């Protein structure tokens, strides 16, 4: 019990003084996962929009793949990305293995289906005639899509948050393709695992604490956005 | 009202992302002559990272040469496997038998002895199998006879390879619920041994770094069989053309230089009252009777 | 004849391989106000969405303003406006919503503001301009929807049951305002409804749809008296829709009603497969039994069951010949009737309508 308390105090101290090691890991985590999320938004939102607005023969199959992708195990993604990025792998010439870019790639693979699936749900929950109404009011195809995205923005924000929350707290793929290199690919989760291995529970706790704060802010935004949507509906 | 809160939360979130983007501007310090290929991938055993030794050696090396060492800390088994596939530039490991094979196969060259410390067997202070003070093999036999809990790394690391060798020499095939293979790094395995009150074979450096959290005494030490020798090897550029041979050689040379050796020799003295590693630059296996 | 704004020929629309709209021919002239009625699922909304080029059609030809409906969809669509059954607002103020079609056309801000205020004024909702559109009441929302459709000055206005779920007074006011707006701007209007009252107030030509196709077309008065099918008869508020059988005898054709208990001599051609006989309530005349009348008249005797007062016309429910009949009688004739009273009445069989 005492060690938990001590760890907690040390965690607070490390955060309060802005321990450069901790700060660096936190910033790198946010940057890597933020970039991966941004890429996933570029891939996932249009895909979700397209799925929500089009009917075609293979749609159920494609949807089942997207839903399956929402639960892809990060370590499996890590392994596949490793196989691709290794020096002697098919993409080895780019020298991306054990770089932040490799983590971004793996995390984007993890987050894209999450964002696509939730975007599909967000756009799909809009009144289906809204799209026709926008077209009827004289909107071009692009304008219509943009208006739909704006109308579904709370749901899409939730999708983005879920994607970000998923990758920032993921450890398997980051460890495998990033290698937990100090100052370069050491992110919150891999650093936590390593500090536990070293027996530095204070530092591990401090990192976990930051991770929890990031995760909490994600959940808080989700909760508030759902609440305000419920109010709008009322 | 709720909407405003949402907007505020979202803005904070975005602000954090933006700050994160600005915050990580090239943390690397100014370097002297820039080498052609900066990144050097070092595949190594967890004990060199978990003990903190690399945190001392690498910054000094990087500052001096401008190379950037990318440490992938895994078990010696996996580190050597990375070398065999040409995915690393140099290897710092402590699994002599596996190392020799890899050199014989031509995947790694220039295997040099860097340092040693020793393995020890630790366990609960009550010592239910009564191994205190025994020789390594006798201790293993006693643990197996008593079916006392034994935690094995189970990850083909250098420590695990030595453990398997000891069982083999003692003519024991460990099996049963008392023998638990955990498949994690040294630090984590030590913690598990402490929680389960089991015996475990560990390198001294990792043990000393964590002793305060464990509450388990050293029961067996000093046996010649428990010598823990670290070698550095460069992955063979003749076999793998993508290897950063110059960088690998530079770091290996640094480890064996007077500066590197004195850093190794003094590492841990201040914190633990004794060094964690003994510098062995220039020695060969023969000096250890191997 | 003015130029046709809408000219459709052989247009077929499929949804998931099912034929949902089949229009062999339809022309609507410029400036015309036309209604479309039909039961639920008749394809009225599909027709409007097809005209608005929102649904692709596979066969046939559709010309809007004389131009091919397969090309330049955006340009053609921007000459039209459509009001859907549901309000379908953006999350934002009334101003933002009404501004939307103008912003989509990249009009300058000053023009937008001016046009919005004019059009909101026209539909009596200037006071709503800063309200959240999603929080408007039903009537307010409809007015704003109409304003949003009219604000871009369309040549063709398509209305899909815009007044469903509104109270009669509001409907009536809105219809008047809409008619004025249409006439003032020389708009062509296609008005979908399943309320015949609205149709009667709004237009002089009506298209009747059923099962995805046009079954009747003409003046609303004709649809009321001579509906094309039972569903339309019900929709049009036909007073008496009686199951019947048809018999051809040597003396002439006969309509058998009430399981054969009463017959109507029908000296006209009979449509095949008709199963119902429609008798509008205003064809009946009360007879003086002492006075003989035209022998061609059908004469029935019955008992008064209910007298429902009304302005000008009373509705009288009579049980006669094993049938329950609804009669519409002038006030002076009906006001003195009492329940249980025996009533002699007659009608001209040519007024009956077989479907």
Q: pLDDT over 90 for what percent of chain B?
A: 59
pLDDT tens digit string along C180-233? Answer: 888 888 899 999 987 888 888 888 899 999 998 998 998 888 888 888 888 888
B10 pLDDT band, cuts 50/70/90, is low
- C28-52 average pLDDT score: 90
Q: Does residue B8 sit at the A interface (CB-CB below 8 Å)? A: no
Testing the interface with B: which of A30, A205, A210 to mutate, by most B Cβ within 10 A? A30
Closest-CA residue of chain A to B240: A88
The answer to whether C248 and C270 are in contact (CB under 8 A) is yes
A21 pLDDT band, cuts 50/70/90, is confident
Measured between beta carbons, the chain A residues lying within 8 angstroms of B209 are: 198-199
Domains and their CATH numbers in chain A: 2-233 (1.10.3720.10)
Measured between beta carbons, the chain B residues lying within 8 angstroms of A87 are: 86-87, 240, 242
d(CA C128, CA C137): 11
Higher pLDDT, C82 or A233: C82
Per-residue pLDDT for C176 more than 90?
A: no
Eight-class DSSP state of C293: -
Q: Does the predicted TM-score (pTM) go above 0.90?
A: no
Measured between beta carbons, the chain A residues lying within 8 angstroms of C100 are: 137, 147
Three-state SS letters, chain B: CHHHHHHHHHHHHHHHHHHHHHHCCCCCCCCCCCCCCCEEEEEECHHHHHCCHHHHHHHHHHHHHCCEEEEEECCHHHHHHHHHCCCCCEEEECCHHHHHHHHHCCCEEEEEEEEEEEEEEECCCCCCCCCCCCCHHHHHHHHHHHCCCEEECCCCCHHHHHHHHHHHHCCCCCCCCCEEECCCCHHHHHHHHHHHCCEEEEEHHHHHHHHHHHCCCEEECCCHHHEEEEEEEEECCCCCCCCCHHHHHHHHHHHHCHHHHHHHHHCCHHHHCCCCCEECCCCCHHHHCC
Q: What integer pLDDT is reported at residue B91 of this predicted model?
A: 96
pLDDT tens digit string along B241-280? Answer: 989 999 999 999 999 999 999 999 999 888 888 888 999 9
Q: Does residue B4 sit at the A interface (CB-CB below 8 Å)? A: no
Q: What integer pLDDT is reported at residue C159 of this predicted model?
A: 92
Superfamily (CATH H level) for B39-117+229-284: Periplasmic binding protein-like II (3.40.190.10)
B21 pLDDT band, cuts 50/70/90, is very low
B118-226 adopts what CATH topology? Answer: D-Maltodextrin-Binding Protein; domain 2 (3.40.190)
A197 to B20: CB separation less than 8 angstroms, yes or no = no
- A14-38 average pLDDT score: 89
Per-residue pLDDT for B33 more than 70?
A: no
- C164-192 average pLDDT score: 86
Residue spans of beta strands (DSSP E) within chain C: 4-15, 18-29, 33-37, 59-64, 67-68, 80-83, 156-160, 188-193, 205-210, 213-218, 240-249, 252-257, 262-266, 276-279, 285-286, 298-308, 313-320, 323-330, 342-347, 353-354
Q: Report helix, strand or coil for C118.
A: helix
B1 pLDDT band, cuts 50/70/90, is very low
Q: Which helix (H) or strand (E) holds A187?
A: none
Q: What integer pLDDT is reported at residue B2 of this predicted model?
A: 46
Q: Determine which of A162-166, B260-264, C41-45, C295-299 has the lowest per-residue pLDDT on average.
A: C295-299
A51 pLDDT band, cuts 50/70/90, is very high
Measured between beta carbons, the chain A residues lying within 8 angstroms of B240 are: 87-88
Per-residue pLDDT for C278 more than 80?
A: yes
Return the CA Rg of chain B. 22
pLDDT tens digit string along B64-79? Answer: 999 999 999 988 888 9
Q: What integer pLDDT is reported at residue A110 of this predicted model?
A: 96
Q: Determine which of A42-56, B71-85, B156-170, C191-205 has the lowest per-residue pLDDT on average.
A: C191-205
- B146-171 average pLDDT score: 92
C15: left (phi over 0), alpha (psi -120 to 50) or beta: beta
Q: What integer pLDDT is reported at residue C1 of this predicted model?
A: 47
What's the whole-number average pLDDT of chain A? 87
Exposure string for C286-324, b = 16+ CB within 10 A, e = fewer: ebeeeeeeeeeebebebebeebeeeeebbbbbbebbebe
- B190-216 average pLDDT score: 90
What's the whole-number average pLDDT of chain B? 86
C54 to A138: CB separation less than 8 angstroms, yes or no = no
Residue labelled with tokens 């998931």: C16
Q: Determine which of A105-119, A196-210, C202-216 has the lowest per-residue pLDDT on average.
A: A196-210
- Domain extents in chain B: 39-117+229-284, 118-226
| Rounded (5°) CA angle B63-A199-B83 | 55
């Amino acid at each position: 019990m005492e060690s938990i308390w001590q760890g907690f105090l040390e965690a607070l101290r490390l955060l309060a003084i802005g321990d450069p090691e901790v700060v660096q890991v936190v910033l790198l985590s946010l940057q890597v996962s933020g970039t991966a999320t941004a890429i996933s938004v570029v891939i996932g939102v249009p895909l979700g929009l397209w799925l929500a607005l089009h009917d075609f023969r293979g749609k159920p199959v494609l949807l089942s793949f997207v839903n399956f992708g929402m639960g892809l195990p990060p370590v499996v993604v890590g392994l596949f990305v490793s196989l691709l990025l290794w020096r002697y792998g098919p993409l080895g010439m780019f020298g991306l293995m054990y770089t932040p870019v490799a983590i971004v790639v793996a995390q984007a693979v993890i987050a894209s289906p999450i964002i696509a699936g939730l975007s599909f749900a967000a756009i799909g929950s809009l009144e289906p005639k809204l799209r026709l109404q926008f077209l009827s009011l004289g909107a071009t195809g692009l304008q219509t899509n943009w208006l739909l995205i704006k109308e579904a923005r709370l749901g899409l924000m939730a999708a983005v948050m879920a994607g970000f929350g998923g990758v920032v707290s993921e450890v398997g793929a980051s460890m495998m393709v990033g290698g937990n290199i100090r100052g370069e690919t050491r992110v919150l989760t891999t650093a936590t695992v390593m500090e536990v291995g070293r027996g530095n529970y204070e530092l591990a706790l401090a990192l976990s604490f930051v991770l929890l704060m990031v995760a909490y802010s994600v959940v808080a935004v989700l909760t508030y956005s759902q609440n305000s949507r419920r109010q709008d509906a009322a | 009202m709720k909407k405003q809160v949402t907007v505020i939360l979202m803005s904070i979130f975005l602000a954090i992302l933006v700050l994160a983007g600005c915050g990580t501007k090239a943390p690397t310090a100014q370097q002297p002559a820039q080498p052609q290929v900066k990144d050097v991938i070092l595949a190594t055993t967890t004990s060199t990272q978990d003990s903190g030794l690399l945190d001392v050696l690498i910054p000094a090396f990087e500052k001096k040469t401008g190379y950037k060492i990318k440490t992938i800390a895994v078990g010696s088994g996996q580190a050597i496997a990375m070398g065999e596939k040409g995915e690393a530039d140099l290897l710092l490991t402590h699994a002599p038998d596996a190392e020799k094979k890899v050199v014989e196969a031509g995947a790694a060259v220039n295997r040099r002895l860097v340092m040693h410390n020793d393995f020890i067997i630790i366990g609960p202070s009550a010592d239910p199998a009564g191994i205190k003070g025994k020789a390594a093999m006798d201790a293993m036999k006693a643990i197996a006879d008593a079916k006392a809990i034994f935690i094995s790394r189970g990850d083909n690391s250098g420590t695990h390879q030595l453990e398997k060798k000891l069982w083999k020499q003692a003519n024991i095939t460990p099996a049963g619920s008392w023998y638990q293979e955990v498949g994690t790094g040294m630090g984590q395995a030590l913690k598990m041994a402490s929680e389960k009150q089991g015996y475990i074979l560990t390198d001294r450096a990792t043990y000393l770094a964590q002793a305060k959290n464990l509450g388990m005494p050293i029961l067996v030490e000093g046996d010649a069989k428990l010598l823990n020798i670290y070698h550095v090897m460069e992955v063979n550029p003749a076999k793998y053309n993508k290897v950063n041979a110059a960088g690998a050689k530079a770091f290996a040379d640094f480890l064996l230089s007077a500066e590197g050796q004195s850093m190794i020799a003094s590492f841990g003295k201040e914190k633990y009252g004794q060094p964690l590693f003994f510098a062995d630059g220039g020695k060969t296996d023969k000096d250890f009777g191997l | 004849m003015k130029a046709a704004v809408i000219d459709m020929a052989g247009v077929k629309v499929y949804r998931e391989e099912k034929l949902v709209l089949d229009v062999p021919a339809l022309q609507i002239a410029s400036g015309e106000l036309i209604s479309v009625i039909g039961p639920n699922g008749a394809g009225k909304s599909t027709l409007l969405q097809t005209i608005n080029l929102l649904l692709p059609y596979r066969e046939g030809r559709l010309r809007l303003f004389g131009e091919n409906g397969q090309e330049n969809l955006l340009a053609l669509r921007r000459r039209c406006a459509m009001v859907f059954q549901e309000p379908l607002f953006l999350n934002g103020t009334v101003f933002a919503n009404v501004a939307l079609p103008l912003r989509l056309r990249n009009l300058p801000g000053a023009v937008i503001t001016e046009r919005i205020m004019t059009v909101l004024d026209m539909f009596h909702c200037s006071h709503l301009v800063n309200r959240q559109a999603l929080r408007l009441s039903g009537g307010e929302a409809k007015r704003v929807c109409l304003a949003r459709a009219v604000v871009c000055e369309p040549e063709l206005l398509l209305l899909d049951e815009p007044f469903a779920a509104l109270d009669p007074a509001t409907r009536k006011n809105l219809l008047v305002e809409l008619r004025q707006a249409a006439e003032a701007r020389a708009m062509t209007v296609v008005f979908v409804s399943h309320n015949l009252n609205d149709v009667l107030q709004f237009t002089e030509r009506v298209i009747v749809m059923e099962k995805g196709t046009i079954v009747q077309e003409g003046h609303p008065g004709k649809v009321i008296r001579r509906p094309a099918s039972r569903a339309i008869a019900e929709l049009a508020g036909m007073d008496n829709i009686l199951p019947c059988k048809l018999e051809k005898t040597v003396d002439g054709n006969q309509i058998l009603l009430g399981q054969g208990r009463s017959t109507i001599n029908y000296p006209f051609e009979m449509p095949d497969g008709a199963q119902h006989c429609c008798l509008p309530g205003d064809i009946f005349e009360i007879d003086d039994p002492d006075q003989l009348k035209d022998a061609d008249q059908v004469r029935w005797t019955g008992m008064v069951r209910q007298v429902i007062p009304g302005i000008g016309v009373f509705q009288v429910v009579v049980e006669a010949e094993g049938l329950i009949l609804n009669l519409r009688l002038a006030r002076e004739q009906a006001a003195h009737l009492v329940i249980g009273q025996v009533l002699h009445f007659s009608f001209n069989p040519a007024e009956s309508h077989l479907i």
